[in-house]
Structure 1
Amino acid sequence: MITWPCLLKLDGDDELVYLDSPEQLNAECQALIWGQDDMVIDTQGHCYALQAGANSTVELSLLPQTLNVQQVTELIQKHEFSKAQRCIIKIQFLSVQQAIAALVE
């Protein structure tokens, strides 16, 4: 079961999108062109593939891949570097949940 909030990681793009609910996921995906290698990462590090659902909604299917806190931290460091607003060396987290929550601050 997916644990919100989550991150939307688009394949080939360092920018991440913070998602606080399934409704926000659907809203973001309406405005994006997403592909089969894009994924959602929940606060437990579980990864989910995006699939078109009924009525223009997005459904998530669990992938065998799970990311640890270091892997999520690296994604966030790349995200922040792409925005060129923070020193990425100082970006460190104790948990995946803490890492995802940092994107709304």
Structure 2
Amino acid sequence: MVVWPCLLTLEGDDELIYLAENSDFMTECKDLIFTDDDYIIDSTGQCYLIEPNLNLYQSEQCLSTEEVTVLIRSHEFSKAQVCLTKIYFLSVEEAVKSMAYEVK
């Protein structure tokens, strides 16, 4: 079961999309065309692949806090607004929730 909030990562793009809940996922993603390398990372680090009908299914991949931190650092680097050495998290949940500030 997906533990919200989550991050959406798209193949070939360092930018991450913060999704607070399932309805945000449905709204953000309804017009996207997904590849096999696009996935959702939930607050526990569990990864979910995305089917064309927007159903999510659990993959075998579960990311550590360090792996999620690397993704967030890449995201921030692409925007060139934050000192990357200051980005540090104690848990995946903390890392995912840190992206909430980017919601418009």
Matched, 1:98 2:94: yes
TM-score (norm: length of structure 1): 0.92
Cα deviation, residue 42, structure 1: 0.2
Partner residue in 2 for 1:52:
52
Q: 1:52 to 1:32 in 2, by over 3 A?
A: closer
Is structure 2 residue 9 aligned with structure 1 residue 9?
A: yes
Map residues 23-42 of structure 1 onto 2, 5 A cutoff: 23-42=23-42
60, 80, 86: which is aligned to 1:84?
80
Gaps of 5+ in 2: none
Cα offset, 1:23, TM superposition: 1.2
**Paired residues, number:** 101
Q: Which runs of 5+ in 1 are unaligned?
A: none
SS at match of 1:52: coil
Q: Once the two structures are superposed, what CA deviation does each residue of 1:53-99 show, in whole Å capped at 9, x if it has no partner?
A: 2xxxx110000000000000000000000011001111000000000
Deviation at 1:31, TM superposition (A): 3.5
Partner of 2:58: 62
Find runs of 4+ consecutive structure 1 residues off by over 3 angstroms. Answer: none
- The root-mean-square deviation of aligned C-alpha atoms, in Å, is 0.9
| AA aligned opposite 2:56 | L
Higher strand share: 1
